[in-house]
Structure 1
Amino acid sequence: MATRAELTEIFGAEGVISLPRSEATAAGLSEDDARVLCDVGFPAELPVIFSLDVPGDPSAFSLVPVDTGADITKVLCLGGPSGNSEMRYCLDMEDGYVILLTLGRQPAAEIINSTVDAFVEFLYRYGLRLKHIASADDRQADEYTKQLRQYLAERDPQAFAEEDTWWNMIFDRLLGKEF
């Protein structure tokens, strides 16, 4: 599990944002989810992959009602892919999953991580990857990326369970594969 100190080392003190404990309590977050969101935090920006400041609504850390067809459930918006106004990472507060919610005419949701803790770990490791490959050649970068994919798949197998999952598509793109 990534720690606040590890995130700060990669993203800087100003680059790690946390949810205030009072907001976590008011939202009704579980203790485990509140600990990650309040004590560990998120990178404010991770090129292409993640941003707390995405265009449009909903904004990060806002509660979003989602019609599941059988029920209306609330999810907590965590941010979205950088510059993308139609996708949001959200915490399913009932089941603890992190989903990628696609907004717009045909809303859709995909589970991308089994816990918010795993999601933060993925973001941290992706940021660490950017740092490590900055001075690497293509072969070294690909090898590091393959090893990272394997590590993350062991950490959260559900994130890579199907060929067309979000994280599989991200890593396929990093490795120059079409998707």
Structure 2
Amino acid sequence: MPNAAAYLTTWGHDNTVPFPRELWLEVLPAPAAAYPSIDFLPLDLSEVFTAYLDGEVQLYDQVDVRIAEGKPYRLMLIGTVPADGDMWFVFNADSGQVMMLDIESPSLEPVNSSLAAFTDFLYHFSLFVDADTGSEGRAQRAAELKRRLEDVDPSAFADPESWWNAVIAQLSSAG
């Protein structure tokens, strides 16, 4: 995984927001390995992630959710999908997974097996966008990005309808 300087160079110093890594490590039951080595996240990454929030719930607030008759989830809000503020990226305080919560349905689906994997995915996505020179060769580059991300977190691609499969499909067809 990249070091802090690499993340900052890629995301931009003015495009990051601190997150309470040390506090969460201390008070949340998620395994330590679920956390990235950095204590910040990007503020805004194109079409895939934003930490700019509107509404009553604030960044890093705890959100308790029960889907149907299932067990309750203790989730920490870490961002949203830029084009849809009702699709929240949340950190599962128990498992360490990053999940997507559709607050309208409500429904919950896995995004990454850990916050560490999620930040690595955002890092590689940023590198992809920064290096983009147009539609020529983009599909091949998107396939290479997917292979790299599968090495980091294969579970993110287990469901053909997953968030990251949809992102890669959009990158492959964009032009």
**Residue of structure 1 equivalent to 2:4:** 4
Question: In structure 2, do the counterparts of structure 1 residues 59 and 27 end up closer, same or farther at CA, with 3 Å as the change threshold?
Answer: farther
**Residue of structure 1 equivalent to 2:63:** 64
5+ long unaligned stretches in structure 2: none
> 2:130, 2:102 → 1: CA distance?
29
> 1:2, 1:168 → 2: CA distance?
23
Question: In structure 2, do the counterparts of structure 1 residues 32 and 2 end up closer, same or farther at CA, with 3 Å as the change threshold?
Answer: farther
CA contact (8 A) 2:79 2:88 kept: yes
CA deviation profile, 1:104-158 (whole Å, cap 9, x unmatched): 2x2001101011111001101111111111xx24223222211001111122111
5+ long unaligned stretches in structure 1: none
Question: In structure 2, do the counterparts of structure 1 residues 55 and 27 end up closer, same or farther at CA, with 3 Å as the change threshold?
Answer: farther
**Residue of structure 2 equivalent to 1:169:** 166
Runs of 4+ more than 6 Å apart: none
CA contact (8 A) 2:113 2:153 kept: yes
Is 1:146 the equivalent of 2:148?
A: no
> 1:46, 1:143 → 2: CA distance?
21
Matches within 5 A, 1:35-54: 35-36=35-36, 39-54=38-53
* Cα shift at 1:62: 0.8
Question: In structure 2, do the counterparts of structure 1 residues 31 and 164 end up closer, same or farther at CA, with 3 Å as the change threshold?
Answer: closer
**Residue of structure 2 equivalent to 1:94:** 94
Q: Could you say which structure has the higher strand fraction? A: 2
SS of 2:144's equivalent in the other structure is helix
Percent identical pairs in the alignment equals 22
CA contact (8 A) 2:139 2:173 kept: no
Question: In structure 2, do the counterparts of structure 1 residues 27 and 80 end up closer, same or farther at CA, with 3 Å as the change threshold?
Answer: farther
Question: In structure 2, do the counterparts of structure 1 residues 154 and 22 end up closer, same or farther at CA, with 3 Å as the change threshold?
Answer: closer
Count of residues in Structure 1 that have an aligned counterpart in Structure 2: 173
Q: Which amino acid aligns with 2:88?
A: R
Question: In structure 2, do the counterparts of structure 1 residues 33 and 53 end up closer, same or farther at CA, with 3 Å as the change threshold?
Answer: farther
> 2:25, 2:160 → 1: CA distance?
37
TM-score, with structure 1 as normaliser: 0.85
> 1:82, 1:147 → 2: CA distance?
25
Q: Which amino acid aligns with 1:103?
A: I
Q: Tell me how large the CA RMSD over aligned residues is.
A: 2.2
CA contact (8 A) 1:99 1:113 kept: yes
Q: Which amino acid aligns with 1:89?
A: F
* Cα shift at 1:73: 2.5
